[in-house]
A and B are shown apart, each in its own frame.
Chain A
């Protein structure tokens, strides 16, 4: 810690450490990928994540074998953890895209060092999000019926359904995310290839680098492609997450049928995605000793994004309450009262505290730069966002229009297993990214170093 903890970072604070040079950066980052043995902390993290991934496989097998009945879903609460978690995961992923693509377009300098973490996180979260709706189907084997393909049955998907919009958005988003990641990492893969010592690694990264040799033409194409993709990805992530919101807004369900959901969901994506990136950045800079590359400048900037997200979310929460209370619909009002004081009360209030109240601490510069505190606040946000998704998914269904068919929701052990399992899938994938792909964009940080030098 070289800087004073009491004052705000100066506007011209260095984005990367002063001792980072072009060569040292390449070696430092590539070494993390090329080293023979992974560091102990990596094995510890991977060792904790992998059993959870095994749990993911087990719960998947159990679920597909015995059917959706193993979960706590019921009539009227026909959507439970799976959909809440789908929204949760897709929000985390979307946060990654926002940091990576939106701030690329705004030319925010701090984005360059963190974007790879954001994209790795996004690619780890997207499969978790993608698995949830499939696991949730009554007949998961037939999920492909949502594809618009010319089948012998002559039946096409029903394009009025928000679920179908969602499906199409998700497919596009997953594919685009993979390409986007790949377009960005290509020069770095070539760097790693060049520095690789063993034959296997040379071939492995050589194939992945697609013959990149750093010609001006290649650079030009790569930069243009990347810029165009960013320009597509940034609005796309807004629309993807808004369409997820339409799953709710498009329903004729009490507590769901509201136009506020698309922006509400987007705010949630901003805050939860950034919060995960903060947590992962703290872990990576500590684990890989990249304090010089991932500086406090980055964390400070990310914390401000989290704070912005929190304020936006607070605004959404006010509207969430205003609608049913001001409106004339008895059912909506009763539902909201039940959400606040019924069986969902614990998660309702806890989510408000974790997502809006506690993050206000980030106004204080000290908190923004105190890494353990920042980590805890972000962890709280992740938990709070899960509770938020859970609360409004369940409550609207449970406290519906027909009092005689009001219900409650009890998660089963397999609901929790699905949650823990997807966390395992996420962490396992992320640890593999850490180990086998450059976790900081070498090419982009080099640009920053050049810029700093020229200042």
Chain B
């Protein structure tokens, strides 16, 4: 060793020692995770060499062009039509269950900021769900997986590529034996093609698909009923009578946004000439369709099957003896059946994914009998890639893993360690697989259990394609470069294939190039750019196919099950926010009040009031639920409208690894066995004596005699429309303000609101509404500017449910304004009630004085407390600091943008040109915003209906936000419920 080197060593030793200290390693991992491998891999010599080299290259790089064409640079010459500070939309799609919903992502200054539904996409029609709205937060989530790891040790992508090359050679040698790929439900044409190539190269490969909330029974019923796999698509515009059986039609079924729009459009009688559909629902646990139903029965799953047989028997869709059995609800069911039969060709029976094969078969049979097939229901070729039943598929995979038949497993998306049926013990079996790769957005349970874990690119960070419920393809274009070094499944499969091209863009483009040529789509560039721009590949929707329902279905059904003896049933359901658990790390969704329970930050065992009374339970009691040998502790939530003896356990909670969702709620998957995924008998329920605080955002469930929700029947509307809403017009001593120019106003149709919470999250995304965390929700400090109140009426076990979205009312006589001592909340000349954050001193008198309780206060600096990248906030809206009041502004930033445009173009603002965030996302178009002074505007038309009313009008606040009363369409043959 030269003296120089020795000297250097003494100089640098302390730094090296520093670098070897564990604290330093954790520091690097925390602060710069992607550099950790660099720190570890380089010794001093190498470091100095590189330093010297980079110094030299630093000089060189000034001489030549930028070597990396992917470098992100600010605009020097701004491209045409790009105006900095204005937002631009890029179409793409986001998938759930594998099914795509089209989105438009709004970019401001090059950053994706907000997600909207794509009006050109058949599954969206411009609407978006809460989870779509929240997807933008996941994109920026700093807790997403950022590191490649092998056996829990941090590694590099290059390490992985090397290992995969080795593995590939071995697999090739034995023709792919032992190779398995596990994906979610798959509709991506290009990825399906790529997997097919893998299959070709490795004939021994097997592809499994797994979704914990799979639609197996629906598919099985289709094969049994129609003799081949078909998908059902619905046309609710033609459905005058809808019969829902635990239906997820307007909540989570593929295409739900489009269905919800048609559903609501058929139930707006005051605007559409006095007709509306009638909805019946039988279900075990409340669904959104059930809440909107004109008649709803809560019943146990076995009762549902028997009741449906009864209806089928009455309608002639099954043997006559089905009508002989006794039923507690015979009158109800008979009346419904008669009503359905009277509307032949305009009825739809729909069963949710949780219903067993038998119920789906019966639904198909009734639909067939009533002429629904071809009118309200059409059959199309399956959109999802051919797949064996997923439950069977995952079971076989687990068995093969256990028996050592699997030595290479790629898990591209799903999280089976967390959500596979409990009895499979997937985690233990995964340990038998010597080479397992998990590509996931978070370092979740499966990622941690695999030998290799690769951070996945978000759907907004990669190229891809996916199909909607009707088959329409969207090519997904990335909205940003991978923020946290994520990789796409295309890359991994391409390396496995040994393909020289591993770039997702090229692969997706090549696939479509080839396909466009096959389909004679003409100029490819025009096709490609056109498809990307619109967000829809034209003419890819599946045509209707004809398939006859096989006769004597009745014979195929198991004999009528005997009424169950008593005993509790556990029902497994998707959570309204966390979905199957894949959305569990999204802060907005965690804090989103669930439509019925209004719970945030927790799931709970949902129990009917009568059952709770029997068991001596009340909300917040902790119970131990045992299914077989497995026990789980869960807090109780007493839910009106829940079927007796049924305990609904929302899935998707209680993660043990991953991001924000880890450790939140309890994991109901642990109780979920593979043979009966949706309902299983509970061995016992025991009260532990503990209490658990549940954070709900609803104070009282009932309306307590106020006129907040006004309702009438269709009959009333047609006979004496003025009698439905009560109005009072108090006199005022003061002259009215005049609004000569424009007068912004909103109208909300309570009949259309299905309570899906999409507007709540849309508002949160648009207006930089912070989340506060469970403790603060418990302290009554939730920040949502727009909330959906849920009220019950009628008996607790069978209540009527009403959803009421409450944004700021923008009162003309705003009580908040007069009490602010510093002019922080003022009225503008267009009637907007403005909040001047910078002027607010935080007396909170305005909130006390707001009868509608729509004002929110920053008790803590909520916006700065959470780990949210600053570049993810909407730059158009101020981020509010501690001690400041805030509230709905009618999206004033959108109003002003449009006003400026109109002024520049020297024209008036057109009706419908300004769309608030809640209005834009609302799948049912329940919200209309516009100018009250424009007599032709949609908002004026809706406000002119006789059922328009404002909340608490006797206070003379003169709200600009008004509501259309709830109109129900009850069947006269069914007696009114006793309340």
Chain A residues at the B interface, C-beta cutoff of 8 Å: 66-69, 72-79, 133, 136-140, 142-143, 145-146, 155-158, 160-164, 167, 247, 250-253, 256, 330-331, 334, 397, 400-407, 410
Q: Which residues of A contact B955 (CB under 8 A)?
A: 252, 401
Q: Is the CB of B839 within 8 A of A138?
A: no
Docked CA distance A146–B819 (Å): 12
Q: Is the CB of A406 within 8 A of B700?
A: yes
Docked CA distance A334–B703 (Å): 11
Docked CA distance A164–B843 (Å): 11
Q: List 30 A-B contacts (CB under 8 A).
A: A67-B859, A67-B861, A69-B779, A69-B882, A73-B844, A75-B855, A78-B857, A79-B848, A137-B842, A138-B882, A139-B842, A139-B884, A158-B818, A158-B820, A158-B822, A161-B819, A251-B845, A251-B848, A397-B848, A400-B851, A401-B706, A402-B852, A402-B853, A404-B698, A404-B699, A405-B789, A405-B853, A406-B700, A407-B780, A410-B779
Q: Is the CB of B820 within 8 A of A161?
A: yes
Q: Which residues of A contact B823 (CB under 8 A)?
A: 155-158
Q: Which residues of A contact B426 (CB under 8 A)?
A: none
Q: Which of B7-38 contact A (CB under 8 A)?
A: none
Main secondary structure, interface of A, reads loop
Q: Is the CB of B857 within 8 A of A75?
A: yes
Q: Is the CB of A163 within 8 A of B847?
A: no
B885: CB under 8 A from chain A?
Answer: yes
Which chain A residue has the least Cβ–Cβ distance from B882? A67
Docked CA distance A162–B859 (Å): 23
Q: Which residues of B contact A67 (CB under 8 A)?
A: 859-861, 882-883
Query: Which residue in B698, B705, B885 is a CB contact (below 8 Å) of A330?
Result: B705
What is the number of contacts between chain A and chain B, taking CB atoms within 8 Å?
171
Q: Is the CB of B849 within 8 A of A163?
A: no
Q: How far is the CB of A383 from chain B (nearest CB, A)?
A: 25
Docked CA distance A405–B821 (Å): 25
B815: CB under 8 A from chain A?
Answer: yes
**A74-B781, A139-B884 are contacts. A162–B819 as well, Cβ < 8 Å?**
yes
Q: Is the CB of B848 within 8 A of A73?
A: no
Docked CA distance A76–B850 (Å): 9
Q: Which of B875-920 contact A (CB under 8 A)?
A: 882-885
Which chain B residue has the least Cβ–Cβ distance from A155? B823
Docked CA distance A156–B699 (Å): 38
Which chain A residue has the least Cβ–Cβ distance from B700? A403
Q: How far is the CB of A71 from chain B (nearest CB, A)?
A: 8
Q: Is the CB of A75 within 8 A of B843?
A: no
Docked CA distance A143–B779 (Å): 26
Q: Is the CB of B779 within 8 A of A138?
A: no
Q: Is the CB of A334 within 8 A of B704?
A: yes
Docked CA distance A157–B839 (Å): 11
Q: How far is the CB of B505 from chain A (nearest CB, A)?
A: 47
Chain B residues at the A interface, C-beta cutoff of 8 Å: 698-706, 708, 776, 779-781, 787, 789-791, 804, 806, 815, 818-823, 839-845, 847-849, 851-853, 855-861, 882-885, 952, 955, 957
Q: How far is the CB of A69 from chain B (nearest CB, A)?
A: 4
Q: Is the CB of B700 within 8 A of A404?
A: yes
Docked CA distance A252–B841 (Å): 20
Query: Which residue in A142, A143, A161 is a CB contact (below 8 Å) of B845?
Result: A161
**A155-B823, A156-B823 are contacts. A68–B842 as well, Cβ < 8 Å?**
yes
Q: Which residues of B contact A73 (CB under 8 A)?
A: 844, 859
Q: Which residues of A contact B852 (CB under 8 A)?
A: 401-402
Q: How far is the CB of B491 from chain A (nearest CB, A)?
A: 46
- Nearest first, the 5 closest Cβ-Cβ pairs linking A and B are A138-B842, A138-B883, A406-B699, A74-B780, A69-B859
Q: Is the CB of B839 within 8 A of A331?
A: no
Docked CA distance A441–B50 (Å): 88
Q: Is the CB of A138 within 8 A of B819?
A: no
Which chain B residue has the least Cβ–Cβ distance from A328? B954
Q: Which residues of B contact A75 (CB under 8 A)?
A: 780-781, 847, 853, 855-857
Docked CA distance A137–B821 (Å): 12
**A76-B853, A401-B851 are contacts. A142–B702 as well, Cβ < 8 Å?**
no
**A158-B820, A404-B791 are contacts. A253–B698 as well, Cβ < 8 Å?**
no
Q: How far is the CB of A303 from chain B (nearest CB, A)?
A: 37
Query: Which residue in A161, A247, A330, A407 is a CB contact (below 8 Å) of B704?
Result: A330
Which chain A residue has the least Cβ–Cβ distance from B861? A67
Docked CA distance A51–B839 (Å): 37
Interface centre among A76, A77, A136, A403 (most CB of B within 10 A): A403
**A75-B856, A138-B885, A252-B815 are contacts. A155–B848 as well, Cβ < 8 Å?**
no
